[in-house]
Structure 1
Amino acid sequence: MPLLMASLLFLGGYAVLVLAQGLEPFWRDLALAVTLLTWLLFAVDFAVRLWLSGQGLRFLRTHWLDTVVLVLPLLRPLRMVKVYTAVQRRRGEPRLSLHARVITYAGMSAVLLGFAGALAVYQQEHSAPDATIRTFGDSLWWTCSTLTTVGYGDVAPVTAPGRVIAVGLMTSGLALLGAVTGSFSSWLLQVFGQEDEGRPPGNDSSPEAS
């Protein structure tokens, strides 16, 4: 929960820095301080887990997603994919509440990731020559069409950093949306599998069985 609140503070501070161009220097400095302090909290959390693991530099390889998220805090919603992977490894009675939480959290993470991606793309694109993404509304529209793989093509990044962000957003969005659909499909398969296991032998109404 503390890291979740820190993530929201980081995103809020970054949003102020990107969107509030005419803000007084005091408030911009405050937003920058909040952003840097929350990133420092992420770094301390990562360092503590690295030290407690006892793995040394191997921790960076086995926890590569955490390493990427530390370097690019805007990708923190991607950590939800690890929860989905853990749920996939569970066996036994299918629990709708567990899968429902994964779906809810992954959906919320996709929204946060989309908002962060829209901010990052807008920051890179709005002042670029020949840019089609001029307002934050344009950026949000482009993000929604990208995350849902619709891709109308009416607006698109023209700068190199913007296109790099776009590739990351496409990949990340597919991972999170895959967690939503995959978790629901996994729960259905578990339910149907247990129903088949509980069916008495020979209980088949097909013509062949008759």
Structure 2
Amino acid sequence: MDDDSRDTRWEQRAEIPLAVASLVFLASYAVRVLAPGLHDAWQDLCLALLFTTWALFAVDYAVRWRLSGQRLRFVRTHLLDTLVLVLPQLRPLRIVKLYEAVQRRHGQPRLALHARVIVYAGLSAALLGFSGALAVFQQERGAPHATMRTFGDALWWTCETFSTAGYGDVVPVTPLGRLLAVGMMAVGLALLGAVTGTFASWLLQVFSQENDERPPGG
């Protein structure tokens, strides 16, 4: 059996466990950020779950790297997996990959290409927005002159950032918070561009089909 088939089989078997690990990570991280007054035992449990999920992703990355036989090329061809390993806040994106895998197992995708792009971009925006809001709020909470006093403020700021509205009523003031904000701005622009571009392409396709089906002189 060649490396490609072994890699594919490993990825198929690990897809669901890694998606569950992503949800566990997001839930544990949310508890640690939003419930700082929780009993130490629960805080330690959440921390242990965070390290466990990181270990699972590290093992998966190492196994797939070994089975692929691509060496450094594997890093370039699997950018999402590399980012998920380096940046924990991106791990919930594995849920999007699980959705795609489920669609493939049912044979022909139920949604058209344009609809799938919009669904993937929407899921990515929701997961990244929630994770990013948690990360920024963790840095901003209690900082001097902070305008992000509650997690609701963080969610509002995330919506402003992703939509490129930027009212300026809530802004990060810490260096790390601003660095995270730059990343979220870039992600917001990319996702917004993907959704609007796909929607515009779909409209053009619909209008083109209507013109083709219209009888001459109609």
Matched, 1:54 2:69: yes
How many residues align? The count is: 193
The whole-number CA distance in structure 2 between the counterparts of 1:76 and 1:193 is 39
User: With structure 2 as the length reference, what TM-score do the two structures score?
Assistant: 0.76
Quote how far apart the aligned CAs of 1:105 are: 3.1
Aligned to 1:119: 134
Aligned to 2:102: none
The whole-number CA distance in structure 2 between the counterparts of 1:96 and 1:65 is 23
Aligned to 1:167: 182
User: With structure 1 as the length reference, what TM-score do the two structures score?
Assistant: 0.79
Quote how far apart the aligned CAs of 1:146 are: 0.8
Aligned to 2:199: 184
* Deviation sequence 1:26-81 (CA, Å, 0-9, x none): 11111111111111111122112211221101211232332122100212456799
Percent identity, aligned pairs only, is 68
Cα distance change, pair 78–180 in 1 and its aligned pair in 2 (3 A): farther
Matched, 1:35 2:50: yes
Aligned to 2:217: 205
Matched, 1:106 2:118: no
Which piece of structure 1 moves more, 155-164 or 45-54?
45-54
The whole-number CA distance in structure 1 between the counterparts of 2:151 and 2:176 is 17
Cα RMSD (Å): 2.8
Which amino acid is 1:178 matched to? G
The whole-number CA distance in structure 2 between the counterparts of 1:131 and 1:141 is 15
SS of corresponding position for 1:169? helix
Which amino acid is 2:59 matched to? V
Quote how far apart the aligned CAs of 1:157 are: 0.5
Cα distance change, pair 77–126 in 1 and its aligned pair in 2 (3 A): same
Residue pair 2:22, 2:53 contacting (<8 A) in 1 also: yes
Aligned to 1:158: 173
